[in-house]
Amino acid sequence: MSKVLVTGADGFIGSHLTEELVKAGKKVKAFVYYNSFNSWGWLDSLPKEILSEIEIFTGDIRDPNGVREAMKGQEIIYHLAALIAIPFSYHSPDAYVDTNIKGTLNVLQAARDLAPDRVLVTSTSEVYGTAMYVPIDEKHPYQGQSPYSATKIGADRLAESFYRSFNLPVTIVRPFNTYGPRQSMRAVIPTIITQLLSGYQEIKLGALTPTRDFNYVKDTVAGFMAIAEAAGTIGQEINIATQTEISIGQLAEEMIRQINPAAKIICEEERLRPEKSEVNRLLGSNAKIMTMTDWRPQYDLSRGLAETIEFFKYNLHHYKTDLYNI
């Protein structure tokens, strides 16, 4: 029974990963963000039989002492804790440096001393910026088109440096746009679904022409686990991508078709990124992950959206659909 730690376990992808690791028979410690409400984020929604198998550690990824304490005795570290909202990074970049760069440094420094078998550092397709060529493979240049993406580039390069300088068993895992149940309204798919389910006739969005490569969250989690188990992935940067793309406008039209065909799309100024900051095209290559592991995407967009819509039908009360969540 492998001992594994998941940082950011209270979040969207982290909670799904934690749940699947328990189901796979791992002994899981969940690092969740300390708060006075004693909330464990989305872990609170897990079935009791799953939650009872998880060791909860409350702390702050920015605190090196807490990070080190959480990592003691753990064999595999899945580091997902991060600030991820791009609009929020425009006016609070310091918080992104502290969380994404310093938080990752805390994990890497502790790993140097504690010597886990594997450290998986979570990257993002945003580090690539607008595609210079497609499909985007792991050799594509980096472009810091937002403070968020710049801090993730910095965290990735720190992780690489610890592999090269100290032989730390690091892998950089780079999911393209993940969606699914439990995602926040800072992401486009929940933004569209929640407005539609709330009965809005005008769906407020930002730019409609950018394209994205969407991973259903269960496929993303399966990718993390496959990378952790595969021989030869240490020292590598590995995309998780479907290698298909769809524009935001086409995506919105598909969900309108499924939920409320009478709804119309309204482009709202405050939701637009600055022109040079907008990532206009993301289409990832999955050749590397499919060569190095047995991972294959199991969900096409239609199936993934159907499951996501079903979740939001019963969990709409968790979301403030009348507000723009940056």
Tell me which H or E stretch contains 2.
none
- What whole-number distance in Å separates Cα of residue 102 and Cα of residue 104? 5
- Residue 324: band (very low, low, confident or very high) from pLDDT cuts 50, 70, 90: confident
- What whole-number distance in Å separates Cα of residue 12 and Cα of residue 300? 20
pLDDT of the residue at 139: 98
Residue type, 192: I
Radius of gyration for the alpha carbons in the chain, expressed in angstroms and rounded: 19
Mean per-residue pLDDT for 132-139? Answer: 98
- Residue 323: band (very low, low, confident or very high) from pLDDT cuts 50, 70, 90: confident
- Each residue of 4-49: pLDDT tens digit? 999 999 999 999 999 999 999 999 999 999 999 999 999 999 999 9
Contact 96, 148 (CB under 8 A): yes
pLDDT of the residue at 44: 98
E-state strands within the chain: 3-7, 27-33, 55-59, 76-79, 118-122, 170-175, 178-179, 202-205, 211-212, 215-216, 237-240, 246-247, 264-267
Mean per-residue pLDDT for 61-83? Answer: 98
Q: In the predicted model, is pLDDT for residue 62 greater than 90?
A: yes
pLDDT of the residue at 169: 98
Could you tell me the end-to-end alpha-carbon distance of the chain, in angstroms, rounded to an integer? 40
Contact 279, 150 (CB under 8 A): no
Buried b (16+ CB within 10 A) or exposed e, 19-47: bbbbeeebbbbbbbbeeeeeebbbbeebe
The DSSP letter of residue 260 is -
- Each residue of 114-131: pLDDT tens digit? 999 999 999 999 999 999
Around Cβ 302, how many Cβ atoms within 10 Å?
A: 9
Instruction: Assign 120 to helix, strand or coil.
Output: strand
Residue type, 137: D
Domain-wise residue ranges, the chain: 3-179+215-240
Q: In the predicted model, is pLDDT for residue 251 greater than 80?
A: yes
Q: In the predicted model, is pLDDT for residue 1 greater than 80?
A: no
Around Cβ 323, how many Cβ atoms within 10 Å?
A: 8
- Each residue of 284-317: pLDDT tens digit? 999 999 999 999 999 999 999 999 999 999 999 9
- Each residue of 162-191: pLDDT tens digit? 999 999 999 999 999 999 999 999 899 999
Domain at 3-179+215-240: CATH architecture: 3-Layer(aba) Sandwich (3.40)
User: Please, what is the average pLDDT of the chain?
Assistant: 97
pLDDT of the residue at 322: 82
Pair type for strands 264-267 and 202-205: parallel
